[in-house]
Copies of this chain bind each other. A is one copy, B any other.
Amino acid sequence: MPKETFKATAVLQEGVKVDVQARNFHITIDEPPALGGTDAGMNPVEMLLGALGACQSIVARVYSQKFGVELEDFRVELEGDLDTDGFMNKSDVRRGYSDIRYTYHITSPSPEENIRALADFIARTCPVDDTISNPVNVVRKDLVIEKIIEQNI
């Protein structure tokens, strides 16, 4: 079954801190004090860039041999432009990233043309790159409300 369903859970903690879970793994996400957080972790838009870089790195490793590339070191530097007026509800600009740019730093003894072919291949093959570059059908499946009655004890 090539179509797989991946899962994650986000649980809001105190303030804007979030415990992100996938299988048995946990990541703490937070915002800096300027954005109302306690700076206990990277924030969601940094995490998104990180997911893209991690995905590209894994594609590089998995396919390096096929392209005749020995990877001594592989690093991706990513940056994304985001107009925070959107999130602050101050303007009708798009809420998310308009542009994301990345630079590969590759240390290798292999022929340059092989390295360039691998680098071009990564962008075409990376699932996170495709997910961000192209539209995805993101929908709310359900909204479960548990009412509690406040009690004065």
Partner of A44, one of B12, B25, B84, B127: B127
A7 CB, min distance to chain B CBs, angstroms: 5
Select A54's contact among B18, B75, B106, B142, beta carbons within 8 Å.
Answer: B18
Residue interface mask A27-68, B partner, CB < 8 A = 1: 101010000100001111111111111111111111000000
Please encode chain A, from 115 to 153, with 1 for each CB lying within 8 Å of some chain B CB and 0 for all others: 110010001111111111111111111111111111000
Across the interface, A125 reaches (CB within 8 A) one of B8, B41, B95, B109, namely B95
Contact A143 B36 (CB under 8 A): no
**In the complex, which of the residues A4, A51, A144, A147 has the most CB atoms of chain B within 10 Å of its own CB atom?**
A51
Interface size class, chain A: 35 or more
Question: Which among A8, A18, A49, A72 has the greatest number of chain B C-beta atoms within 10 A?
Answer: A8
Interface of A is mostly: mixed
Looking at the complex, which one of B45, B61, B74, B137 makes contact with A55 (CB distance below 8 Å)? B45
- The answer to whether B27 touches A47, judged by C-beta atoms less than 8 angstroms apart, is yes
Partner of A138, one of B41, B100, B146, B147: B100
Could you name 28 residue pairs across A and B whose Cβ atoms are closer than 8 Å? Answer: A4-B84, A6-B43, A7-B78, A8-B42, A9-B77, A10-B75, A11-B57, A11-B74, A20-B53, A29-B51, A29-B58, A44-B58, A47-B50, A86-B125, A89-B125, A95-B124, A96-B128, A96-B131, A97-B136, A101-B141, A102-B140, A103-B141, A104-B144, A105-B144, A115-B143, A116-B143, A132-B138, A133-B137
